[in-house]
Amino acid sequence: MKQQQGFTLIELIVVIVILGILAATALPKFTDLSSDAKLAAVQGVAGAIASSASIQKSANAISSVAYPYAAASACSGSYLETGIDATVSSVLSGQVCTVRNLATTSITKAVTLP
């Protein structure tokens, strides 16, 4: 009696088909990264605004004449070297600067300014 030494061609084809079906259903979940990119852009600009506002406020504490500080200027991106990214906008309400994505207004990040 002969013993089977490996897999048959049919078994290999079935496994490949099953792997192809699994890959086709899982692929769309990993390829839609645009919402993550939009969120990262908003978080990056919000972090840059918070950081620049803190630096400007600290410089203002040392010398208020040379480094005037205003929350409106901080939220508008005036203290950033290159300004605010064109894909986001910012709105000041009191001491809270809200940064939102222009394409998807549901992606927002609020920053409390000093």
Q: What is the pLDDT of residues 39-76, one digit of tens each?
A: 898 999 999 999 999 999 998 889 877 888 888 889 88
pTM for the model stands at 0.69
Work out how many domains the chain is built from and give that number: 1
Closest to 41 in 3D by CA, of 85, 80, 76, 74: 85
67 in any annotated domain: yes
pLDDT for res 1? 61
91 in any annotated domain: yes
65 in any annotated domain: yes
29 in any annotated domain: no
pLDDT surpasses 70 at 4: no
Average predicted confidence (pLDDT) for the chain = 87
51 in any annotated domain: yes
69 in any annotated domain: yes
Q: Write out the two tokens for 73.
A: 């200027």
pLDDT surpasses 80 at 37: yes
44 in any annotated domain: yes
24 in any annotated domain: no
Rounded distance, CA 95 to CA 113, Å?
5
**Whole domain around residue 69: which residue ranges?**
35-112
